[in-house]
């Protein structure tokens, strides 16, 4: 059972007419869909009631599955080396966002560290990439999802406006997870990708 899911999405379906199921994983489509989702969250001011509308927008031609955008992204993504960083920057800019922090470059996985970042958020939008020693449909040993926290400034600090961590996985959709449940929820979520996460990377974005 997929717990706390509010709206369904499947990148392999959205991409099926363009590149097929395996290509959606190998060409970094998950990264592209996540960036698009974060841009929609900012447009909606973090409104968790608009989850289904966001999923609908992701699936249309103007969304991350746009053939032209996805080909440009995939071509650059597949060049190897640091080319993925340029592909990443390109799509972040196209979606009207900017990178504001690299909290963790490719590093050993720590769920405790991730929880500390999300439970005391200093940013609203998070691009979260993780690596695991297996293949699943829609993810070939690596995957990208998004986190969003609704935050505002109070007395010189950013504080959460609510106790909900919004999560987007391009293979499953949007989840609304109470802070108190996140530890247990994310442990369960990891089982969708074999249970073992070896490394992760966290980048933060904001409206440009």
Q: CB neighbours (10 Å) of residue 178?
A: 12
Contact 88, 31 (CB under 8 A): yes
DSSP assignment of 174-191: EEEEEGGGHHHHHHHHHH
Name which residue leads in pLDDT, 79 or 182: 182
CATH of the domain at 187: 3.90.70.20
Three-state DSSP class for residue 99: strand
- What pLDDT score was predicted for residue 141? 84
d(CA 58, CA 63): 5
Contact 129, 189 (CB under 8 A): no
- pLDDT over 70 at 14, yes or no: yes
- pLDDT over 70 at 77, yes or no: no
Q: CB neighbours (10 Å) of residue 206?
A: 14
Radius of gyration of the chain from Cα atoms? 16
- pLDDT over 50 at 165, yes or no: yes
Number of domains in the chain: 1
Structural domain containing residue 91: 5-207
- The pLDDT tens digits of the residues spanning 15-33 come to 775 544 444 444 568 888 9
- The pLDDT tens digits of the residues spanning 172-191 come to 999 999 999 999 999 999 99
């Amino acid at each position: 059972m997929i717990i706390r899911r509010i709206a369904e999405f499947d990148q392999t379906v959205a991409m099926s007419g363009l590149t097929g199921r395996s290509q959606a994983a190998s060409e970094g489509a998950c990264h592209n869909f996540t960036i698009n989702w974060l841009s929609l969250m900012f447009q909606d001011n973090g409104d968790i009631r608009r989850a289904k509308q966001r999923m609908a927008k992701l699936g249309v031609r103007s969304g991350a599955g746009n053939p032209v955008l996805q080909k440009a992204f995939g071509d650059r993504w597949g060049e190897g080396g640091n080319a993925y960083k340029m592909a990443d920057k390109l799509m972040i800019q196209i979606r009207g966002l900017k990178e504001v922090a690299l909290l963790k470059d490719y590093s050993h996985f720590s769920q405790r560290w991730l929880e500390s970042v999300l439970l005391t958020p200093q940013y609203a939008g998070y691009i979260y990439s993780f690596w695991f020693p297996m293949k699943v449909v829609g993810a070939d040993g690596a995957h990208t999802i998004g986190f969003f926290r609704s935050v505002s400034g109070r007395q010189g600090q950013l504080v959460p406006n609510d106790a909900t961590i919004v999560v987007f996985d391009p293979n499953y959709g949007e989840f609304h997870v109470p802070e108190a449940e996140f530890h247990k929820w994310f442990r369960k979520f990891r089982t969708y990708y074999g249970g073992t996460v070896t490394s992760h990377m966290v980048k933060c974005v904001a409206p440009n």
